[in-house]
Amino acid sequence: MALFHVRMDVHIPRDLDPQVREDTIAREKAYSQELQRSGTWRELWRIVGQYSNISIFDVESGDELHELLSGLPLFPYMDIEVMALTRHPSRIDD
């Protein structure tokens, strides 16, 4: 198991066909909800006032995360920042 903190900033071009926009967002929602149900996409939070999210992914490796992120329907319109997480030695829970 490996945890990753991911920030996604979405920049959909203003001139994108509205039907394509709507369809892409609907496919993104279905894709993300499937990964949430499976426990892979552990956390999904909106950053207040921005078309951006902070997410936590629970995957086997960076390669797996890369595959998942590249498969996002909105991937072509996103800037993505990834931070690998490891356990803090001062944490008290197991």
Ligand X SMILES: O=C(O)C[C@H]1C=CC(=O)O1
Q: Is 29 in the site for ligand X (CB under 6 A)?
A: yes
- Could you give the CA distance from residue 45 to residue 29 in angstroms, rounded to a whole number? 13
> Element (H or E) spanning 68, and its range?
helix 62-70
Minimum CB distance to ligand X smaller for 17 or for 34: 34
Stretch that binds ligand X, among 12-20, 24-32, 57-65, 80-88 (CB under 6 A): 24-32
Among 53, 64, 69, 82, binds ligand X (CB under 6 A): 53
Q: Is 10 in the site for ligand X (CB under 6 A)?
A: yes
- Could you give the CA distance from residue 83 to residue 5 in angstroms, rounded to a whole number? 5
Structure tokens at 10: 């979405």
Structure tokens at 83: 């931070």
Minimum CB distance to ligand X smaller for 48 or for 92: 48
Q: Is 9 in the site for ligand X (CB under 6 A)?
A: no
Closest residue to ligand X, judged by C-beta, is 53
